[in-house]
Amino acid sequence: SQTIHQWPATLVQPVGSPLSLECTVEGTSNPNLYWYRQAAGRGLQLLFYSVGIGQISSEVPQNLSASRPQDRQFILSSKKLLLSDSGFYLCAWSTTAGGFYEQYFGPGTRLTVT
Amino acid sequence: QQQVKQSPQSLIVQKGGISIINCAYENTAFDYFPWYQQFPGKGPALLIAIRPDVSEKKEGRFTISFNKSAKQFSLHIMDSQPGDSATYFCAAFTRLGGSNYKLTFGKGTLLTVNP
């Protein structure tokens, strides 16, 4: 079965520090991968998506970047964090196996920028 | 515009009652409609989904009703239980071309089921 991992689970970082969040998927190949941010108030904002290695699309211009160095690895980065980067970051993968769309989320990383 | 409008923002239901959450969309390119359930501190979990050629889908106590002409769909939770208390998101898939597709979410409904 497929499993999605995110780490770290929680992170407290000072303003101006760098960021690296990692997401890996097991049990599937060539998935579409996504990064979302969920601020207080529940809404899910799509940040980046990737349909393959090295292929990244950005949904919202911001202080963050994403990379996909391996088929099942997706990384979210920042060179200098802002207070507004605080939030709950969710990685997701999707497939159209069987002709239906399915998207599954990881457990999330709670980022607090101080 | 690719939007999914969800209502209500919050909902309080007594145990055993029916919870109803509604969503509406404009983009006719949306072609698959999942619902997600999220507990505090956890990632959203896929709950149930429907294709637009089906008017209703039921899984246990959860039912999706879909009205293609009105571009509306809703989640009904029968016999609501305190354990159903969570945030619920409706969503809609659209294919962007090739293997590229995207999920657009509603803003969520916080459901509280009182014992």
Q: Show the CA angle centred on residue A32, arms to residues A26 and A35, nearest 5°.
A: 90
Contact residues, chain A, for B36 at CB < 8 Å: 105
User: Residue B53 is encoded by which pair of tokens?
Assistant: 């050629």
Whether B115 has a pLDDT exceeding 80, the answer reads: yes
Q: Is pLDDT of B65 > 80?
A: yes
- Whole-number Å distance between alpha carbons of A85 and A90: 13
Average pLDDT of chain B, as a whole number:
92
User: What are the mean pLDDT values of chain A's consecutive 10-residue runs (114 residues total)?
Assistant: 92 97 92 90 85 88 90 96 94 76 91 96
Q: Do B101 and A94 touch (CB under 8 A)?
A: yes
Closest chain B residue to A31 measured between Cα atoms?
Answer: B99
pLDDT digits (tens, 9 = 90+) for B23-45: 999 988 888 899 999 999 999 99
Least confident interval from B42-51, B81-90, B95-104: B95-104
SS3 B70: coil
pLDDT at B2 over 80: no
Pick the more confident residue, A97 or B93: B93
> What gap in Å lies between CA A33 and CA A51, rounded to an integer?
7
Residue B46 pLDDT more than 60? yes
DSSP state of A1: -
